Structure 1
């Protein structure tokens, strides 16, 4: 049975994509810790990071870093948070988000009632930053 993330990747459920390649995608989470909070998700349904082969794991880390650097530039964040997940959705995903203080690292306290327009704006900004940094080939709608 396909995971929630596979359904998003396959377009069955909408997602705000900021990256797409043959190995993975990145899209904004619907429960962000800060604006621009994205998840890097392998296309393959891997339940946890230890299930990923070395090449896939290295690729996910590389893309997470590229997205994180774009987030840091776009939101002028002093730090970037990163968290490996796979409990609520049994599909490996790497969270990356602009972090401004230790308070931003509380996965149990996401921003509440975020309007769709705010998500759309964050996705637009992150896509534009990725394009400006030379990654347009992997940015959907670029």
Structure 2
């Protein structure tokens, strides 16, 4: 069964996509830690990041760097934090989290519940900076 990320990649379910190329896609987390929290995903469905082929892992990180620079330009933050946890969805993904404090990347705290309109506005700001 396809992961929820594969369903976003295939446009079977909606996602607030901020960047995409032939191998990778980045979209807003719908339950973000902070506004501008983005997930960067390879289009190839692989469960564990260290099972990616070396070129795919390198490409994923370079793509994430491009997206992080766009987040940094478009979302008020001190820097963009990076986390790879890999337990929530069985599809490799990198969390890019705009940080103002260390607590902004605390995954145990309650997630934000944002309206679709706000998510769309944030996505457009980031997309415009990519």
Matched, 1:115 2:115: yes
Q: 1:110 to 1:41 in 2, by over 3 A?
A: farther
Q: TM-score, normalised by structure 2?
A: 0.94
Instruction: Give the structure 2 partner of residue 140 of structure 1.
Output: none
Q: 1:110 to 1:39 in 2, by over 3 A?
A: farther
Instruction: Give the structure 1 partner of residue 97 of structure 2.
Output: 97
| Secondary structure in structure 2 of the residue aligned to 1:31 | coil
For residues 17-36 of structure 1, give each alpha carbon's deviation from its aligned partner in whole angstroms, at most 9, with x where no partner exists.
11111111000011111111
1:91, CA displacement in angstroms? 0.5
Runs of 4+ in 1 over 3 A off after TM superposition: none
Q: TM-score, normalised by structure 1?
A: 0.87
Separation in 2 of the partners of 1:106 and 1:32?
A: 11
CA RMSD of aligned residues (A): 1.1
| Structure 2: segments with no counterpart, 5+ residues | none
Residues 27, 40 of structure 2: 8 Å contact kept? yes
Separation in 2 of the partners of 1:120 and 1:60?
A: 24
Count the aligned residue pairs: 130
1:110, CA displacement in angstroms? 4.5
Instruction: Give the structure 1 partner of residue 19 of structure 2.
Output: 19
Separation in 2 of the partners of 1:109 and 1:115?
A: 19
For residues 67-88 of structure 1, give each alpha carbon's deviation from its aligned partner in whole angstroms, at most 9, with x where no partner exists.
1111112123112111113211
Q: What is the correspondence of 1:54-69 to structure 2 with a 5 Å cutoff?
A: 54-69=54-69
